């Protein structure tokens, strides 16, 4: 944990993050998050990493989509930071590092207008578009439907600054209210709750961004067959600047203490599937639809499932070949990070 936090909040990395720049592609984001995860002694094979990525993305999407006001994005971030601080409260060096990062975030984002926050939120929603992986804890808590879309309630408190819908006020030319009528709002809304704190410490009020597992003890699984990304046009178009960004990021992260392939004893392997065998099978499927055009058909008991997997893997491979540069870009980037 300390390794990961120390990597994420180190000064040059934070400076790079806070520089004005375009949003990353999914490929870049996944690479970055993989690198962060591997800054610790944790090791995840591609299949488990895929699952972890899907889980992180869906949890983040939930928080972004459910924010009642765009400004609440900052409160969610502060919730994240509050929790991270509590993980390392006995480590003064790390606590200071996080405090400094938090100061920078508040300084940068607190002065933004609602319109500017909303542009950030809209851009994030575009990045998160079309991701509908079902997450068991969300399904169980009835926060997500079976089709992967989140539940948007039409009841509860309205956001700060808004009024409960249902009132029409009419004014005359002198500005005097002359008529008032009500209309059915179609929901059951209540007045806003108190404003959360945007300071270094304080009650953030919103639950978004807090530990979503705090009430459930089970492992979370992402259900369904491996999610193959939709052919989003925004994703496949190569951004020439992105490679430069990623190279710089790679250099910055490479500067941190990194555990090379650890000996069997000191590493611990994270498996997000229920059994090792499942992880291995999923891993095989992942490899076949990676950057290679060879399709490996693994002999398994269920012949039908296997050929279905092979067919899907084949489709994905064709997709990779048709797009312009992402494959080669990904290759180069990953090898670059391996060199560090």
Kindly tell me which residue out of 2, 83, 96, 122 binds other proteins, with binding defined by CB under 8 A.
Answer: 122
Structure tokens of 129?
């578009």
Q: Does 154 bind other proteins (CB under 8 A)?
A: yes
- Tokens standing for 282? 């999923």
Element (H, E) at 75: helix 72-87
Binding residue for other proteins (CB under 8 A) from 90, 184, 214, 263?
A: 184
Closest approach of other proteins to the CB of residue 103, in Å: 17
Instruction: Give the number of other CB atoms < 10 A from CB of residue 330.
Output: 18
Give, to the nearest 10 degrees, the angle between helix 276-288 and helix 303-322. Answer: 40
Instruction: Give the one residue of 1, 11, 22, 223 binding other proteins; rule: CB under 8 A.
Output: 22
Round to whole Å and give the CA distance between 46 and 36. Answer: 14
Q: What CA–CA distance (Å, rounded) separates 279 from 45? A: 8
Min CB(107)–other proteins separation in Å: 12
Between the CA atoms of 227, 228, 233 and 236, what dihedral angle is there, to the nearest 10 degrees?
120
Q: Copy the structure tokens of residue 300.
A: 């398994």
Residue 68 within binding range of other proteins, rule CB under 8 A: yes
Interface with other proteins, residue 150, by CB under 8 A:
yes
Q: Minimum distance from CB of 197 to other proteins (Å)?
A: 20
Q: Report DSSP letters for 106-170, one per residue.
A: HHHHTT--HHHHHHHHHHHHHHTTT---EEHHHHHTTSB-TTSPBP--SEEEPPTT---S-EEEE
- What would the two tokens of residue 302 be? 């269920």
Residues 192-251 that bind other proteins (CB under 8 A): 230, 232-234, 237-239
Q: Does 323 bind other proteins (CB under 8 A)?
A: no
Question: Can residue 168 be called a binding residue for other proteins (CB under 8 A)?
Answer: yes
Please report whether residue 104 would count as binding other proteins according to CB under 8 A.
no
- DSSP type of residue 96: H
Distance CA 187, CA 228 (A): 36
Q: Is 305 one of the binding residues for other proteins (CB under 8 A)?
A: no
Tokens encoding 206 = 């919103």
Nearer to other proteins, 171 or 268 (CB): 171
| Interaction of residue 107 with other proteins, rule CB under 8 A | no
Q: Name the strand (E) or helix (H) holding 99.
A: helix 92-109
Terminal alpha carbon distance of the chain: 21
Beta carbon nearer to other proteins, 73 or 282: 73
- Name which of 185 and 210 has its Cβ closer to other proteins: 185
Which C-beta is closer to other proteins: that of 24 or that of 87?
24
Of these, 1, 151, 297, 305, which contacts other proteins (CB under 8 A)?
A: 151
Residue in 1, 125, 295, 340 binding other proteins, rule: CB under 8 A = 125
Cβ-based nearer residue to other proteins, 166 or 255: 166
User: Is the CB of residue 281 less than 8 Å from the CB of residue 298?
Assistant: yes
Number of residues that bind other proteins (CB under 8 A): 56
Nearer to other proteins among residue 142 and residue 303 (C-beta): 142
187 is an interface residue for other proteins by CB under 8 A: yes
Report the alpha-carbon distance of residue 153 to residue 188 in Å, rounded.
Answer: 9
| Interacting residue ranges for other proteins, rule: CB under 8 A | 20-22, 65, 68, 70, 113-116, 118-119, 121-123, 125-126, 129-130, 132, 145, 149-152, 154, 158-159, 161-171, 173, 175, 179, 181, 183-187, 189, 230, 232-234, 237-239
């Amino acid at each position: 944990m300390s390794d990961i936090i120390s990597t994420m909040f180190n000064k040059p990395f934070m400076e790079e993050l806070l520089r004005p720049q375009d949003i990353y592609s999914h490929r870049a984001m996944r690479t970055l998050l993989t690198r962060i995860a591997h800054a610790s002694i944790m090791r995840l094979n591609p299949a488990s990493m895929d699952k972890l990525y899907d889980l992180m993305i869906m949890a983040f999407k939930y928080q972004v989509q459910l924010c009642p006001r765009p400004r609440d994005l900052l409160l969610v971030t502060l919730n994240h930071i509050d929790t991270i601080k509590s993980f390392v409260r006995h480590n003064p060096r790390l606590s200071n590092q996080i405090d400094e990062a938090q100061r920078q975030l508040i300084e940068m984002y607190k002065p933004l207008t609602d319109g500017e926050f909303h542009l950030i939120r809209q851009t994030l929603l575009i990045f998160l578009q079309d991701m509908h992986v079902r997450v068991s804890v969300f399904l169980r808590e009835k926060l997500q439907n079976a089709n992967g879309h989140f539940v948007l309630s039409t009841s509860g408190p309205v956001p700060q600054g808004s009024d409960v819908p249902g009132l029409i006020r009419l004014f005359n030319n002198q500005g005097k209210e002359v008529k008032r009528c009500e209309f059915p709002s179609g929901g059951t809304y209540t007045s806003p709750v108190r404003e959360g704190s945007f300071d270094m410490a304080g009650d953030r009020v919103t639950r978004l961004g807090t530990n979503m597992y705090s009430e459930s003890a089970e492992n979370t699984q992402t259900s369904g067959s491996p999610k193959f990304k939709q052919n989003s046009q925004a994703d496949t178009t190569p951004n020439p600047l992105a490679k430069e960004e990623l190279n710089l990021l790679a250099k910055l992260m490479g500067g941190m203490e990194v555990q090379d392939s650890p000996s069997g004893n000191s590493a611990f392997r994270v498996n997000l599937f229920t059994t090792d065998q499942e992880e291995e099978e999923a891993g095989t499927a992942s490899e076949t639809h990676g950057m290679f055009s060879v399709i490996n058909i693994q002999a398994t008991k269920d012949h039908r499932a296997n050929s279905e997997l092979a067919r899907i893997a084949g489709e994905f491979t064709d997709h990779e070949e048709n797009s312009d540069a992402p494959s080669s870009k990904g290759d180069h980037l990953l090898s670059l990070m391996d060199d560090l």
